């Protein structure tokens, strides 16, 4: 199906500028293209990224006359700010005239686009913001564009939304009176750049020309000599940040680390403290980074918590970005947004550095910050940026062994659905990748890591935990679920199968718990370790010597660990499932044949036979086991430790 030319032009200019990190950070910026008859306008949808726009998503079509009528309505301006901006959002939604089955909102700056030329590009380039966030920025800009016949229009800071649109409408009117045309370039104080033209190519060239002229003379600090950074210090700082966040705000966060030449250069900047003493430069910095990065010379949990408590006491959002002396940038965000925060911080440092040489940094005032934080449109954008999953385990970090199949897979899926970031540990990484794909199909925003891990090999286990620290920055939950069940009678038991069961079912549990406990103790905010045992660990089953022994052992070592780790707030419990058939590697055709022979029944009768042995007469599913583990991992079980939860439909009674 052929799309309208205006929409095709919109997608072209959006994708072009959206892929340039120097022009756009996160979902910031917006674009629009009007139809040839001037009646309609295709515009970027709020909260979407310019680079991701295509024929199906990222835009809305608006009736321009209806959009402009909002500006003309004097009744709206009499409302208080909160009611006014909420009403504007509603009115803009009513201006949509496309057939998209979407809740996507048109850009809240649609009014500005409506009053400008056919093609409009609004961006936040570093080079432009170095001037619009500088006290002497306007005077410098006047000199740069002195030779232009139609100079850029300077827009003094006004709160975003309807009032900004009204202010710009008045200034455009004055500009037209002076130059007999609309401005092609608008520079908004503490905000960014608008360009408009009659064609997409001209608009793109105008962006390049304007940014290029403003880029001249701007500098970054001299790159320092590269030095090795201690991995131990990075890990220690990540755990300190998680500890501080939890104790100051009761929040579980991921902690990412970044270092590159740009960040390293600013860490050595003689004015780094002065640069970071100013408040947020832009709404993007507030939405994605919760404000100015925090400078830390000594990143102890106590010092970080003190900073966070100070922000909480002032009614501010607590920081998501920390610049640590001699290390680098630490970001408390999920994978989707951590890179965005990194880019925003790098841009902010560049802008602050150059603004200092132009009379000083001009940042948002407390009143302006309060307006942005309470602005419904930014709240919507922040919610879209977070994109996290609510649930009993929201924002916790978990690792599940044996996540590639059977109960490990079911547990990993359940934990992800409950809001945790999950490391899928399995010796079969291809199987773990399949689990990851299945989770993402159901839950696209899930935070997942595939960690190839042989639980019987200490080096492999250490490497898996290094991956978890590198990706997530900590650990709250360990589920030991990898296991085997070699079924032989005593007289036919191959000793190598016995030893293999001991290695996987006991040594594997031990090694994973050892390194999980080390992390949790260092982190200092507690945690949960769960051993997946079996009803056979409570009541022995025939011809199952290795399974009986190891599953009973898993319960008992969990009790001992609970006694050891309780003083650190780490809870250790066991879950004993009944027979779970779906997706199980244990209940393979050979094992089913062995069971059929043991009970003198046909293979197809084995599963119904085992189900009939339960009091409830129900087949146990993987989700049933996952639900038990989610409960034990959650705050609802905060005083439960050293216990064994049997999930078997009423087959084994624990006394």
Distance (Å, whole) CA 110 – CA 46:
10
For residues 390 and 243, give the distance between their C-alpha atoms in angstroms, rounded to a whole number.
21
- Contact yes or no for 461/480 (Cβ under 8 A): no
Catalytic residue among 547, 599, 609, 610: 547
Q: How far apart are CA 138 and CA 272, in angstroms?
A: 24
Q: From CA 429, how far away is CA 434, in angstroms rounded?
A: 9
Q: Give the other-Cβ count within 10 Å of 589's Cβ.
A: 8
Active site residue 40: no
Two structure tokens written together for 65:
């006359």
Average pLDDT, the chain: 92
> Cα(360)–Cα(54) distance, rounded to whole angstroms?
41
Q: pLDDT (tens digit, 9 = 90+) per residue, 430-477? A: 999 999 999 999 999 999 999 999 999 999 999 999 999 999 999 999
Structure tokens at 184: 């092609």
CA distance linking residue 172 with residue 127, whole number of Å: 24
Q: In terms of C-beta density within 10 A (0-12 exposed, 13-18 middle, 19 or more buried), how is residue 181 classed? A: exposed
Q: Give dist(CA 308, CA 467) in Å, integer.
A: 28
Q: What's the confidence (pLDDT) of residue 282? A: 86
d(CA 573, CA 644): 6
What is the C-alpha separation between 649 and 654, in angstroms, rounded?
13
Provide mean pLDDT across the span 629-650. Answer: 96
Span 31-75, pLDDT tens digits:
999 999 999 999 999 888 899 999 999 999 999 999 999 989 988
DSSP label at residue 251: -
Average pLDDT over residues 346-351: 93
Structure tokens at 621: 């599913």
Cα separation, 146 vs 568, in Å, equals 67
Report the C-alpha gap between 65 and 378 in whole angstroms. 25
In the chain, the domains with their CATH numbers are 5-215 (3.40.225.10), 231-386 (3.40.225), 397-584+619-647 (3.40.50.720)
Q: What is the pLDDT of residue 492?
A: 93
Three-class SS state of 639: coil
Q: Which pLDDT tens digit goes with each residue over 156-184?
A: 999 888 889 999 999 999 999 999 999 99
Enter the pTM of the model: 0.90
What are the tokens at 134? 């500088």
Q: What is the pLDDT of residues 85-96, one digit of tens each?
A: 888 889 999 999
Contact 325, 227 (CB under 8 A): no
Q: Are 370 and 32 in contact (CB under 8 A)?
A: no
């Amino acid at each position: 199906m052929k799309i309208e030319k205006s929409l095709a032009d919109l997608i072209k200019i959006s994708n072009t500028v959206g892929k340039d990190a120097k022009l756009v950070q996160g979902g910031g910026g917006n674009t629009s293209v009007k139809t040839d008859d001037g009646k309609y306008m295709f515009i970027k949808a709020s909260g979407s990224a310019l680079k991701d726009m295509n024929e199906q998503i990222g835009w809305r079509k608006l009736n321009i006359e209806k959009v402009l009528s909002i500006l003309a309505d004097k009744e709206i301006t009499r409302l208080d700010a909160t009611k006014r901006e909420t009403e504007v959002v509603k009115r803009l939604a009513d201006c949509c005239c496309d057939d998209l089955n979407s809740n996507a909102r048109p850009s809240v700056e649609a009014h500005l686009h409506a009053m400008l030329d056919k093609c409009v590009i609004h961006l936040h380039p570093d080079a432009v913001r170095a001037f619009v966030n500088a006290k002497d920025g306007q005077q410098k800009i006047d000199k740069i564009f002195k030779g232009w016949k139609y100079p850029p229009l300077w827009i003094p800071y006004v709160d975003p939304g309807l009032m900004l649109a009204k202010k710009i409408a008045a200034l455009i009117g004055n500009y037209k009176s002076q130059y007999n045309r609309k401005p092609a370039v608008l520079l908004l104080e503490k905000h960014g750049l608008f360009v408009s033209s009659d064609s997409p190519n001209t608009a793109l060239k105008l962006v390049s020309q304007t940014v290029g002229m403003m880029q001249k003379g701007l500098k970054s600090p001299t790159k320092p000599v590269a030095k090795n950074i201690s991995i131990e210090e990075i890990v220690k700082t990540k755990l300190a940040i998680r500890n501080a966040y939890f104790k100051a705000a009761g929040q579980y966060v991921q902690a990412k680390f970044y270092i590159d030449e740009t960040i390293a250069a600013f860490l050595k900047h003689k004015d780094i403290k002065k640069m970071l003493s100013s408040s947020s430069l832009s709404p993007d910095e507030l939405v994605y980074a919760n404000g100015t990065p925090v400078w830390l010379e000594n990143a102890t949990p106590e010092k970080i918590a003190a900073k966070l408590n100070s922000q909480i006491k002032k009614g501010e959002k607590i920081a998501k970005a920390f610049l640590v002396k001699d290390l680098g940038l630490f970001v408390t965000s999920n994978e989707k947004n951590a890179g965005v925060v990194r880019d925003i911080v790098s841009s902010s440092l560049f802008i602050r550095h150059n603004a200092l040489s132009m009379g000083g940094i001009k940042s948002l005032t407390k009143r302006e910050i309060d307006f942005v934080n309470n602005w419904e449109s930014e709240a919507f954008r922040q919610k879209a940026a977070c994109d996290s999953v609510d649930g009993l385990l929201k924002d916790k970090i978990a690792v599940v062994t044996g996540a590639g199949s059977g109960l490990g897979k079911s547990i990993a899926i359940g934990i992800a659905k409950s809001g945790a970031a999950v490391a899928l540990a399995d010796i079969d990484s291809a199987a773990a990748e399949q689990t990851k794909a299945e989770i993402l199909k159901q839950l696209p925003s899930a935070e997942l890591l595939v960690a190839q891990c042989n639980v019987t090999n200490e080096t492999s286990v250490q490497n898996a935990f290094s991956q978890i620290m590198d990706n997530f920055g900590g650990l709250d939950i360990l589920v030991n679920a990898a296991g085997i069940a070699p079924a032989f009678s005593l007289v036919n038991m191959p000793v190598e199968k016995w030893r293999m069961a001991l290695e996987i079912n006991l040594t594997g549990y031990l090694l994973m718990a050892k390194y999980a406990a080390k992390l949790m103790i260092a982190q200092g905010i507690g945690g949960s370790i769960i051993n997946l045992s079996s009803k056979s660990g409570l009541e022995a089953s025939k011809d199952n010597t290795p399974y009986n022994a190891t599953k009973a052992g898993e319960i008992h070592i969990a009790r001992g660990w609970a006694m050891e780790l309780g003083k650190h707030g780490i809870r250790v419990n066991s879950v004993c499932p009944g027979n779970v058939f779906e997706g199980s590697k244990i209940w393979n055709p050979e094992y089913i044949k062995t069971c059929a022979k043991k009970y003198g029944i046909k293979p197809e009768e084995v599963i119904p036979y085992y189900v009939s042995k339960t009091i409830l007469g129900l087949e146990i599913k993987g989700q049933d086991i996952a639900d038990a583990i989610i409960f034990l991992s959650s705050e609802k079980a905060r005083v439960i430790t050293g216990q064994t939860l049997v999930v078997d439909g009423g087959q084994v009674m624990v006394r």
